[in-house]
A and B are shown apart, each in its own frame.
Chain A
Amino acid sequence: MPAGVDSQAPEQALHILVVDDDPTTRVLLASFLRQEGHTVAMAENGQEALLLFERDRAFDLFIIDVTMPVMDGLTLSQALKARLERWVPIILISANAEERSQVLGLDVGADYYLTKPVSFPLLRANVRASQRIASLQRELETTNDSLVNYFNRINADNDLARELLDRILYQSEENDTSARYIISPAGDFSGDMIISTRSPAQRYYSMIADATGHGLPAAITLMPAVETFTRLARDGYSLETIVRELNTRLRESLPRGRFVAATLIMVEPHTHRLEIWNGGSPAAYLIDNTERTIIKQFPARHPPLGVLADDDFDVRIQSHAHRAEYTLVACTDGVVEAESADGAMFGSRGLEALLVSKERDDDILLELDRTLDRFTGGGDGRDDRTLLVLPLENIMPVIHPLRPEMDEPGLDGVPEGGHEERSSGGWYFAIGVRGDVLSEAELAPTVNGMLSHVGLMGEDADRAHVCVTELINNAIDHGVLGLDSSLKQSPDGFDQYFKERRSRLRRLKEGGVFVRAHLDRMGDYQSLRVAVSDSGSGFGVGPDGEALMPRAGDLPAHAPHGRGIRLVQRLADRLVFHDGGSTAEFHITVTAHSARN
């Protein structure tokens, strides 16, 4: 600091309390300080000083004699420091120039120490020094106040943002509680997310996703993914379509260098088909939680979503047959990359060891939480950590109570096959797809969407959606592509089956599927008839339209294939085959409360 600045230090009037039992010193000091422009109050001893202080706390400086009757200067200094809410300087004065007594004075909380007789230049310098500190103190308080304000505002903003995100993320979940999971964010916001939903045809979809980085920016990154996933999964689109759309959407909306590692899961309960697409996430596991064995691993086969351009993007799915007693486990990298205090990583090995451990708790979430706490010493929190545990028995098909058959008592007067007679009006539409367009067409969601549009709602609509989806899949797989269901009997055959399906679809030159639907108003209920025809040669039907081949009783109960037809037989009020089996038609009676019109 340049010389002279000291004397030009900002002149500021202080409010000073002088405490001395010697009246001469007291008055001398007071008049000197008043000349300097300050206001001064006086006390004769410590006790009087404290009383004064209780009445008037606005002092900026205390000048205190050490040796006084009633209450001495050291005791007073201590008492003042204890009562003050902010820093106020104390100058001790004493006739004793001994080092020990000075140290003692500073120890109890005094800031300066002067010896008697008091040198006025030295006192002035001390007062100025305390002025400078006092003004720094005030600046600090102001800064601190604005920091506190800022902190509070940020906190309030964060709370709002978190609530907003939670609503978007978890409201869309439609309360599907089949899966259990933990999300343990590294900070206020999680860059991880799990979202699950079911399609009308009872397919279960789940996405476990981890956006680049942490906190709010990472959480925001997930928004476009949520919207796209929910919209498509709810309508029952294929996992391939969902994954492709997600990649396109994220690629368009995310800044470069931002992406989303994700595992997408589709479980079709009635066909026992499990599909997984893993882009950049740790392996997912299909385990037997009773035997504690790993049935199959699903490692990352692709880069994360939002990285590759459409042309380079690869939607290939891993599929497997599942059983109700299996459990699916998937996680984000925060789990396998959890670090111990000495820098070791939990790793996929750690997770696998936990999954197959015979000693562990049945509750995988609980066990993992404990294990990771132990592993990291409880202090880890570097990354968001998310684990999904999905016991497949939780997503077995939801079968709605069957309606009485049309010819059974209770629905009086409905003539067999005579719907048209009583219908006062209705919708009908026909739609078909042929050739290689079949490979990209989403015929079942389209038909189901149209049915919803024309007023099919409620539980009866859910039954119809399943039937439409199953009959169309059946028509494509067996009628058009001529695939052999027996392939699916072995678990590995499943993968092979779907590979074969994909490649035949791509090469398809002719053939197709044609759907006709009628939704008729029949007084206080509606009648739905949907016929699905394919270009195949059928399988032969009896004279009464009953199927000769895919009769439920002829199918081995454990076979995944044929389940589709059996399901339609159970869900629809009636299922008949025409054209030698290449047309399947189901009927469903829609009760009034289910229908919009």
Chain B
Amino acid sequence: MNSDFSLSYTVDDGTALLTLRGRFDFSQYSVFKEEQTRVLEKPEVSNIVLDFAGLEYLDSAALGILLVLNDRAKEHQQTVTIRHARGVVREILDVAHFDRMFTIED
């Protein structure tokens, strides 16, 4: 439960792959926002893929951060896909019905 959050990304062929690990909650807001702005402002990026395989938990503030990302991405004509969400992370996304706003892939 004390696992630290980490975020890294690579850009390849128009797709930005953000890999999130650990526990994603409100305290990560500024970290995520900074990286998000960097990715969104790259003109070559048309798809954003969030890899949640290493994510252990996310709270409602984190869900809010994702909604903001989705909105910004739309303004830049980019799509956002969430991939490899598992366990409790997947449950939280399901309860919040994020499939209505995002593409969610296994």
Contacts and interface: CB of A to CB of B under 8 A. Distances in A.
A280 interface: yes
A542 B98 CA distance: 57
A259 B71 CA distance: 14
A160 to B, nearest CB: 25
Contacts of B59: 383
B95 A257 contact: no
A114 B92 CA distance: 67
Interface string A305-346: 001100010000000000000000000010001010011010
Contacts of B101: 303, 307-308
B96 A261 contact: yes
30 contacts: A210-B60, A212-B63, A212-B64, A213-B26, A213-B61, A214-B26, A256-B64, A256-B67, A256-B68, A256-B71, A257-B68, A258-B64, A261-B60, A261-B95, A280-B95, A280-B96, A282-B95, A299-B95, A300-B95, A302-B97, A302-B100, A303-B97, A303-B98, A304-B96, A307-B101, A308-B100, A333-B95, A337-B88, A339-B1, A342-B1
A280 to B, nearest CB: 5
Nearest to A314: B100
Contact of A281 (B63, B95, B100): B95
A345 B61 contact: no
Secondary structure of the A contact surface, majority rule: loop
Nearest to A344: B1
Closest 7 CB pairs of A and B: A257-B64, A343-B1, A257-B68, A303-B97, A280-B96, A212-B60, A300-B95
A301 interface: yes
Contacts of A383: 59
Contacts of B97: 279-280, 300-303
B55 to A, nearest CB: 14
A294 to B, nearest CB: 18
Interface of B: 1, 26, 59-61, 63-65, 67-68, 71, 88, 92, 94-98, 100-101
B95 A212 contact: no
Interface string A199-216: 000000000001011100
Contacts, number: 60
B96 A212 contact: no
Nearest to B61: A213
> For chain A, which range describes its interface: under 10, 10 to 19, 20 to 34, or 35 or more residues?
20 to 34
B1 to A, nearest CB: 4
A312 B61 CA distance: 22
Interface of A: 210, 212-214, 256-259, 261, 279-282, 299-304, 307-308, 312, 333, 337, 339, 342-343, 345, 383
B61 A212 contact: yes
B101 to A, nearest CB: 7
Given A257-B67, A307-B67, A312 B100 contact: yes
A150 B67 CA distance: 35
B69 to A, nearest CB: 9
Nearest to A260: B60
Contact of B60 (A213, A302, A342): A213
Contact of B64 (A259, A302, A308): A259
A17 B8 CA distance: 63
A285 to B, nearest CB: 15
Nearest to B69: A257
A302 B1 CA distance: 28
B1 A303 contact: no
Given A212-B63, A261-B95, A333-B92, 19 more contacts: A213-B26, A213-B60, A213-B61, A213-B64, A214-B26, A256-B67, A259-B60, A259-B64, A259-B67, A281-B95, A300-B95, A301-B97, A302-B100, A303-B96, A304-B96, A307-B101, A337-B88, A339-B1, A345-B88
Contacts of B65: 257
B99 to A, nearest CB: 9
Contacts of A302: 97, 100
Contacts of A212: 60-61, 63-64
Contacts of A339: 1
Contacts of A257: 64-65, 67-68
A584 to B, nearest CB: 42
A343 to B, nearest CB: 4
Contacts of A213: 26, 60-61, 64
A300 B60 contact: no
Nearest to B87: A345
A210 B64 CA distance: 13
A482 to B, nearest CB: 34
Contacts of A337: 88
Nearest to B26: A213
Contacts of B67: 256-257, 259, 307
A261 B67 CA distance: 14
B96 to A, nearest CB: 5
